[in-house]
Amino acid sequence: MKRFFLIVCSILTFSSISAQETADIGIWGGVGSYLGDMTQIDQASSLNPNVGVFFRYNFNSRLSLRTSLMAGTIGATGKYEADPWEFDKFMTDVSVMGEFNFFRYIIGSKRHSMTTYLMSGLGTSLYKYTYDPALLSPMVYYLNNEQLGIVPAEIHDELILEKEESIIGLNVPIGFGFKFNIGERMGIGIEAILRKYFNDKVDDLDDPRKFYSLTDGPNGSSQGAWKSYNTFLHNNDFTYHLGIHLTYRFYRGDQECPVYENIK
């Protein structure tokens, strides 16, 4: 009878893997830093605290969908070309990511108590972008006297005026980690996340190598246009984050078979 119960339980367990739905909430804490146009970055002083919260819906023991909110300071001290440059700003990110476990993982399970995992998705970051021509002029070509002398008046005025704007920018997060159980309803993990941004304003160096060019047009007229190096898909701004998360399972659907759970 016990063998029959074990066989039935095992069949039900394997057939219900795709329907073994659970849900978790978690908190995240760690550090964040930056990769981009800057060089010779002082890594020690460029690590800043970041915190977050997330909700994770587990479709089964391998696949999850995770919504997270992360906030903290991102900054760096270093150089752009040969000139010193630094920035420091508060960033907030909202992301939706799919999470894939290499091994079956269920919070509260003794048999499936740990796994490595990969995750990726789409995020939106909110932060301030500061354009300061007085600080940028020694470094960027488009602010030297030669360039300012050939740009149209409306462009000239725009280039020499300091401004600050709020940015809502898309990014793609890619991460990996390791997580394991510490109780019937709790888990802990460590993970690293790299975010690729679709704008070049994180470090306040927006396409710093661009220049304004004049070409001869018909009838001897001159036509001007920006020659840019960065595009929506191609730019240099990334942030990376390393942290620890604590997770609490607040919902569990179908319970795993107790006999199957104790199979060695």
- pLDDT of 240: 95
Q: Which of 124, 125, 123, 120 is nearest to 64 (CA)?
A: 120
Residue 116 has pLDDT above 90, yes or no: yes
First to last CA, the chain: 19
Cα(99)–Cα(68) distance, integer angstroms: 12
Per-residue pLDDT tens digits for 228-239: 888 777 788 999
| Mean pLDDT, range 75-99, rounded to an integer | 94
What are the tens digits of pLDDT across the range 27-83? 999 999 999 999 899 888 899 999 999 999 999 999 999 999 999 999 999 999 889
Strands 83-101 and 222-227: what pairing? unpaired
Confidence of residue 247 (pLDDT cuts 50, 70, 90): very high
Give me the pLDDT at residue 185, please.
Answer: 94
172-204 pLDDT, tens digit per residue, is: 999 999 999 998 999 999 999 999 999 999 999
Mean pLDDT of 195-216: 90
pLDDT band at 219 (very low <50, low <70, confident <90, very high): low
Round the average pLDDT of the chain to a whole number and report it: 87
Task: Please state, for a pLDDT cut of 70, what percent of the chain lies above it.
Answer: 86
Share of the chain above pLDDT 90, in %: 64
164 — pLDDT class (breaks 50, 70, 90): very high
d(CA 164, CA 142): 19
Could you count the other beta carbons within 10 Å of the beta carbon of residue 99? 23
Helix (H, G, I), strand (E, B) or coil at 166: strand
Least confident interval from 53-57, 102-106, 124-128, 218-222? 218-222
214: pLDDT strictly greater than 90: no
Angle at 255 between CA 253 and CA 260, to 5 degrees: 150
Q: Is 182 helix (H, G, I), strand (E, B) or coil?
A: coil
* Angstrom distances, CA of residue 101 to CA of 2, 19, 132: 32, 16, 45
Contact 229, 207 (CB under 8 A): yes
DSSP codes of every residue in 67-99: EEEEEEEEEEEEEETTEEEEEEEEEEEEEEEEE
The reported pLDDT for the residue numbered 204 is 94
User: Is a pLDDT exceeding 90 seen at residue 5?
Assistant: no
d(CA 120, CA 112): 23
For residue 256, is pLDDT > 70? no
Single-letter amino acid code for the residue at 188: I
Cβ-contact 56, 177 below 8 angstroms:
no
- The rounded distance, in Å, linking the Cα atoms of 57 and 23 is 4
- What is the model's pLDDT at position 216? 67
Architecture, CATH, for domain 2-261: Beta Barrel (2.40)
Q: Which residues pair with 53 in a beta bridge?
A: 27, 69
Which regions of 36-185 does DSSP assign to beta strands (E)? 48-58, 63-80, 83-101, 114-131, 163-181
> Given this model, what pLDDT does residue 251 score?
85
